[in-house]
Structure 1
Amino acid sequence: MSALGGFCCKPKKNDPDEEDQMERSEWSKPIQFILSIIGYAVGLGNIWRFPYLVLTNGGGAFLVPYITFMLFCGIPFCFMEFTLGQFSGLSPVEAFGFAPLFRGLGWAMLLVSGMLCIYYNIVMAWVVFYFTQSFSWNLPWKSCNNSWNTPNCFTYTGLTNMSSIPPNSTSSTMEFWTHRVLESSPDISDFGGVNKHLCACMAVAWILTFLCLYKGIKTSGKVVYVTALIPYVFLSILVVRGLTLPGAEIGLNFYIKADWKQLKSLTARCYSLNFISKISILSFSIYLFFYVQIWTRAAVQVFYSLGPAWGGLITMSSYNRYHRKFNWDAFLLPIVCGGTSIFGGFAVFPIVGHMAYQMGSTNVSTLMNSGPGLAFIVYPEALAQIPGAPIFTVCFFAMLFTLGLDSQFATLETMTSGFMDRFPNTLGRHKTLFTLLVCIVQFFLGFVLVTRAGGYWFQIFDWYATPISIVLIATLEVIAISYVYGAKKMLGHAETMIGKRSRFGRIFWTTIWYFITPCFTFYLFVTVIMDYTPPYFTNGKPFPSWSVAFGWCVASVSMIPIPLFAIREMWRRRHNLKSLFKPMEYWTDACEARLRQAEMRKIREAEMELDGIEDDVRE
């Protein structure tokens, strides 16, 4: 069986050689796991989404709900998924065998990861294209003298007042993005053929992804030394340059200054509605959990940045040694992820503040945007206004590429290891070939995103593919682990690997898993549903109803396995429904095999140490 094969059958206890053959691949060094999960969690959203959320949700005040959700949802989920992955040594597809009723959660995670890979790599293609275009002293999006520009084009260069911008005009950066990069068609239904340069860039992105993963963690574990650390070098360069620009304080003021009015809006609503009555506490709670969007956005950002319920954390931890003390990793990852988001804001706001300063403005909110708009329109325009622009532009897009590539590692590994754990005797024996096949299939599945209508379809995928399914998966996951399997039992498994916790530690984690994390997760699920709005074009026009219907189909793809597997298991166990909530035999066998292998490793290491001592004595 391949080193990456799962434990789907019980090994012979009297044949240690066979057990050795069934051992799962492990990280060569502990640091590889840390760098891999940091690379997985710290992605594009930390740079292009977090700064915009801070700007539009109270500035520094946004950190209050963000840190709150990180503490009571992010860290507990990390600890929970690290425990499940490391204890079972299985990818999500097989790891949920502890409760047959919830086996569909693993397949849901696999499908979510698959869809994310498809449309995430088109972002990588955009980054590759911008990166290649940055090796020019005259950046192509800085002027209106190009073949793709229209008569309505204007540039920010030399602009001293926002009011001097002609009406119905478009910036040179926007035209470069729309007419050169995307080559956008006028409508989502007008595909207009394949965008050749984006197709080539997407191929480059997939080729690099495959080369980094063709032997699984054996190759990606070495690559992360570069891809997980280099972004911080580029980010530091941009921070230092941004802070030394005139007008940097304008951007920093918007970033650091806390607007407590938005957090206090809850209290204001309660008073304005005269909820000073016996039900005032209930009313306050209702507004807290269902009407304060700032808390919802903070929670969503935690889920998007850390990546719980996506399957990557379970997959990466399944390659750990059995007795790795991952408890500190569960704290380190959220700290690094949150710290990177905050640090990234110091690279974005000063440079955008400098752009506002040049235009005689003190308001950066009119220039900021979220998502691709920030990374491919606002920030390149701001960088174009500073001396030595090409150098810093290359740094910026190199940083984005390494951030995106890192995130792809764990996401694609979740897919490949899931199938190989499920079919170890076929796919598990051909790791490289299967990884290549997955990359090729996903490249062709993403073809719609490199057509002339690709920008519109990207928005559909981004809008529907993951948000609802992820919070549903997270809600059911915490229910399955905390209530069906048992938080105390799962904590007991953690203690067998990392050592006994103090009485306070056990009470703390069981309380968090039983009560606090489920409440926060359920809150997020309800508010995401309540806050749903259909997607709109940039001009405010809604997407056609058929495309919205397609979006819901995309969303349902990753959610369908949950009820399907539940129904299947209920039918198969209809004469013994209690078994729906008891671990399956293969899962128990896998966990027992992991423990035996860990014990055998300890014996071998002790024998080697003893042999070394005897050799020293002889000498």
Structure 2
Amino acid sequence: MSRQRRTEENQRAIGDRGQWASKTEYLLVVAGSVVGLGNVWRFPYLCYKNGGGAFLLPYCLFAVLLGIPMFLLETSIGQYTQQGSVTCWRKLCPLASGIGYGHLVMKMYNFGYTVIEAWSLLYLGFSFSSQLPWATCNNTWNTENCLAISQGVNSRNATTNESMLRNTTSAAIEFWQRRVLGLSAGIEEPGQVRWDLAVCLLICWTLCYFSIWKSVRSSGKVAYFTATFPYVTLLILLIRVVTLPGAGQGIYYYLYPNISRLANIEVWIDAMSQISFSYSISAGSLIVLGSFSDYNNNCYKDCFWLCLLNSATSFVAGFVVFSVLGFMAHQHGTTVDSVADSGPGLAFITYPQVTAMIPLPQLWAFCFFLMVILLAIDSHFVMVESFITTVSDLFPKVFHAPQRHELFALATCLFGFFINLSLITEGGIYVFQLIEAYGSTRMSSSFLAICECVAIAWIYGADNVLAFIKDMSGRRPHVFFKLCWKYIIPLLSLVSLILYFVDYKHLKLNNWYVYPDWAYALGWIMAFTSFVVLILTMVGQMCQTSGTFMQRLTILCRPAGDLLSTKKTKGNDGTAAELMATET
């Protein structure tokens, strides 16, 4: 089939679904979705923890073996089929449609990450205070054990009684736990909704809605600001923090190569999981974003540039983070490893403390939390748009009309808001950590990556994938990608999946709170949801298809829909058998 004819058929298939207004909008939205909080608060810590500069070796290796090939595979699948993460599999390998439903389940769990935006927005509001509330102990939420930022620095520098300091709590920690979270004793005590956080959460979901209410016609415009301005703030912060006392010590901890750490299998697993997480692979979002591209878009070239941007951002963010940690260690007269942290602890405790120690603290607090919000909101609206698009493509006659799409987007955002209310109660942080640990994990990502590679490289055919990428981009990918899809990625993902169960440890919050047994049971139910959904979908499809077992399996493993011409003939037993005409 000629390239021109293929383009015309895909244009007809799009209908009212929409496309990117320009290539720039596509690149900005994809960049915004894959460059997120993990680049700022996860990669630098993993780099420090796993051998500094030596960690870059397994990281770059897995970027080549796993990240780039999977990124290309998913974006090209979306672009070729012009469908969401469920219906795309119906056209390539109907038996694998359960992969898309697994992606939907993971996205629903990922809705919980919106609470990070709400926390950041609250901090942003407090940044306008004449005196930062996380720096002092004269607030209503402080306890008698509170230690103000200035007191902590003076005490450390004066080498006063260490036992006294051990019995105190930083003002930043008290602000985080007692003012922002209103932390309860455990997940068994949900407590009341934090209404200031509820307002922030409502603002976040409202921004999300108006970013996606016109589908890619609106999200592409929003990305001009949300995808670019974090780099402005990151550059401003970088210039400021590298000049702080002790920054050099922090950068040394960040980059000093400890080659002996490479003998630890955990280092390699962390590198692989970071690539999967930061590249947003095996999540379905890349398929959806690619599906709005023009059929002749050069997805092959885009893949390399976007992956390079992602990893480069992670690397540069490390200089910001460890300059901050080096300054903290210098101010407290301790070492970097004693203040190194990742995740919420870095963003909502460590960095606020630093802003309180330098001139113009309100300005630097504002810059940092604005950057966090913009990094989070890109990933947020892409995640929701991917969910909406995938469901809409399942029911195109119902949801593809513009007015109905807007209503469905509104309903989805309202649903997400009300579900997120459980995360901003006094026990909400316990729920958030449980979802983060079990809802969308390395286990689910590895399992779905295996299924994707088997369905595409072995059933549909890796050579067919290389052929349609050449048809779209004008250049046939190197045979190396075929080897990755068929052998390397399934093997790496299987090893990661096995080691996940071997190294499993019960989740603990702050290394002291142990969840009740029912919470762990709930976590494992969440973890296995994507498995169960995929298997049930396969069983349901086999039951709905007529013929013998092998005939059903053969039909469901062959491409369907308008991408390949099909011809139905009657077999000797009267059942319908699909004879696929090869593409020319």
1:59 — aligned with what?
A: 52
Following the alignment from structure 2 to structure 1, what is the Cα–Cα distance between the partners of residues 181 and 330?
Answer: 30
1:337 — aligned with what?
A: 310
Verify the 8 A CA contact 1:121 1:205 in the aligned structure 2: yes
Residues 496-575 of structure 1: matches in 2 within 5 Å? Answer: 496-501=471-476, 505-573=477-545, 575=548
Residues 259-408 of structure 1: matches in 2 within 5 Å? Answer: 259-263=258-262, 265=263, 292-361=265-334, 363-408=335-380
- Cα shift readout 1:53-78 (whole Å, capped 9, x = no counterpart): 11211111111111111111000001
Does residue 110 of structure 1 match 2:85?
no
1:462 — aligned with what?
A: 436
Does residue 581 of structure 1 match 2:557?
yes
Does residue 481 of structure 1 match 2:475?
no
Quote how far apart the aligned CAs of 1:23 are. Answer: 5.7
Cα 1:16–1:142, aligned 2, differ >3 Å: closer, same or farther?
A: closer
Following the alignment from structure 2 to structure 1, what is the Cα–Cα distance between the partners of residues 365 and 565?
Answer: 53
Quote how far apart the aligned CAs of 1:353 are. Answer: 0.9
2:212 — aligned with what?
A: 213
Does residue 185 of structure 1 match 2:199?
no
Cα 1:507–1:182, aligned 2, differ >3 Å: closer, same or farther?
A: same
Does residue 159 of structure 1 match 2:159?
no
Verify the 8 A CA contact 1:24 1:89 in the aligned structure 2: no
Work out which of the residue numbers 94, 102, 117 in structure 2 matches 1:100.
94
* Residue identity in the other structure for 1:476: C
Verify the 8 A CA contact 2:145 2:168 in the aligned structure 1: yes
Stretch deviating more after TM superposition (155-164 or 528-537): 155-164
Verify the 8 A CA contact 1:355 1:385 in the aligned structure 2: no
2:391 — aligned with what?
A: 419
Does residue 37 of structure 1 match 2:30?
yes
* Residue identity in the other structure for 1:201: C
SS of residue paired to 1:258: coil
- Cα shift readout 1:446-475 (whole Å, capped 9, x = no counterpart): 121111100111110111000122221112
SS of residue paired to 1:308: coil
Cα 1:17–1:176, aligned 2, differ >3 Å: closer, same or farther?
A: closer
- Cα shift readout 1:278-330 (whole Å, capped 9, x = no counterpart): xxxxxxxxxxxxxx100000111111101011111000000000001111111
Following the alignment from structure 2 to structure 1, what is the Cα–Cα distance between the partners of residues 10 and 182?
Answer: 59
2:582 — aligned with what?
A: none
Verify the 8 A CA contact 2:449 2:490 in the aligned structure 1: no
Verify the 8 A CA contact 1:36 1:406 in the aligned structure 2: yes
Quote how far apart the aligned CAs of 1:587 are. Answer: 5.9
Cα 1:21–1:39, aligned 2, differ >3 Å: closer, same or farther?
A: closer
Following the alignment from structure 1 to structure 2, what is the Cα–Cα distance between the partners of residues 76 and 397?
Answer: 33
1:76 — aligned with what?
A: 69
Verify the 8 A CA contact 2:58 2:271 in the aligned structure 1: yes
Verify the 8 A CA contact 1:469 1:555 in the aligned structure 2: yes
Quote how far apart the aligned CAs of 1:116 are. Answer: 0.3
* Residue identity in the other structure for 1:219: S
SS of residue paired to 1:184: coil
Following the alignment from structure 1 to structure 2, what is the Cα–Cα distance between the partners of residues 511 and 554?
Answer: 33
Quote how far apart the aligned CAs of 1:383 are. Answer: 2.0
* Residue identity in the other structure for 1:548: Y
* Residue identity in the other structure for 1:210: Y
Following the alignment from structure 1 to structure 2, what is the Cα–Cα distance between the partners of residues 148 and 535?
Answer: 28
2:572 — aligned with what?
A: none
2:576 — aligned with what?
A: none
Residues 435-454 of structure 1: matches in 2 within 5 Å? Answer: 435-454=409-428
Cα 1:227–1:18, aligned 2, differ >3 Å: closer, same or farther?
A: closer
Following the alignment from structure 1 to structure 2, what is the Cα–Cα distance between the partners of residues 136 and 447?
Answer: 26
Verify the 8 A CA contact 2:118 2:200 in the aligned structure 1: yes
Cα 1:122–1:16, aligned 2, differ >3 Å: closer, same or farther?
A: closer
Quote how far apart the aligned CAs of 1:351 are. Answer: 1.8
Verify the 8 A CA contact 2:48 2:255 in the aligned structure 1: no
Cα 1:21–1:562, aligned 2, differ >3 Å: closer, same or farther?
A: closer
* Residue identity in the other structure for 2:19: E
2:233 — aligned with what?
A: 234
Quote how far apart the aligned CAs of 1:336 are. Answer: 0.7
* Residue identity in the other structure for 2:182: E
1:605 — aligned with what?
A: none
Verify the 8 A CA contact 1:72 1:520 in the aligned structure 2: no
SS of residue paired to 1:533: coil
* Residue identity in the other structure for 2:340: M
1:8 — aligned with what?
A: none
Verify the 8 A CA contact 2:449 2:489 in the aligned structure 1: no
- Cα shift readout 1:130-181 (whole Å, capped 9, x = no counterpart): 1101112311000111110111111332233477352232111111000000
Quote how far apart the aligned CAs of 1:588 are. Answer: 4.2
- Cα shift readout 1:393-417 (whole Å, capped 9, x = no counterpart): 1000000000001111221111100
User: With CA pairs under 8 Å and 6+ residues apart, which has the higher RCO, 1 or 2?
Assistant: 1
Quote how far apart the aligned CAs of 1:519 are. Answer: 2.1
Following the alignment from structure 1 to structure 2, what is the Cα–Cα distance between the partners of residues 218 and 500?
Answer: 29
Cα 1:426–1:155, aligned 2, differ >3 Å: closer, same or farther?
A: same
* Residue identity in the other structure for 2:190: F
Verify the 8 A CA contact 1:91 1:414 in the aligned structure 2: yes
When normalised by structure 1's length, the TM-score is 0.85
Quote how far apart the aligned CAs of 1:589 are. Answer: 7.5
* Alignment coverage as a number of residue pairs: 546
Q: CA RMSD, aligned part only?
A: 2.0
- Cα shift readout 1:40-97 (whole Å, capped 9, x = no counterpart): 0000111111111112111111111111111110000011111100000001010111
Quote how far apart the aligned CAs of 1:20 are. Answer: 8.1
Verify the 8 A CA contact 2:136 2:149 in the aligned structure 1: no
SS of residue paired to 2:508: coil
SS of residue paired to 1:426: helix
Quote how far apart the aligned CAs of 1:360 are. Answer: 2.0
Quote how far apart the aligned CAs of 1:515 are. Answer: 2.0
2:19 — aligned with what?
A: 26
* Residue identity in the other structure for 1:261: S
* Residue identity in the other structure for 1:110: L
* Residue identity in the other structure for 2:459: V
Verify the 8 A CA contact 1:315 1:410 in the aligned structure 2: no
SS of residue paired to 1:293: helix
* Residue identity in the other structure for 1:246: P
Following the alignment from structure 2 to structure 1, what is the Cα–Cα distance between the partners of residues 35 and 11?
Answer: 39
Following the alignment from structure 2 to structure 1, what is the Cα–Cα distance between the partners of residues 118 and 55?
Answer: 32
When normalised by structure 2's length, the TM-score is 0.90
Quote how far apart the aligned CAs of 1:259 are. Answer: 1.1
* Residue identity in the other structure for 1:462: E
Following the alignment from structure 2 to structure 1, what is the Cα–Cα distance between the partners of residues 137 and 55?
Answer: 38
Does residue 244 of structure 1 match 2:246?
no
SS of residue paired to 1:28: coil
Stretch deviating more after TM superposition (548-557 or 122-131): 548-557
* Residue identity in the other structure for 2:137: C
Following the alignment from structure 2 to structure 1, what is the Cα–Cα distance between the partners of residues 449 and 503?
Answer: 18
Verify the 8 A CA contact 1:91 1:314 in the aligned structure 2: yes
Following the alignment from structure 1 to structure 2, what is the Cα–Cα distance between the partners of residues 194 and 23?
Answer: 41
Cα 1:461–1:18, aligned 2, differ >3 Å: closer, same or farther?
A: closer
SS of residue paired to 2:138: coil
Gapped runs of 5+ residues in structure 2? 1-5, 567-584
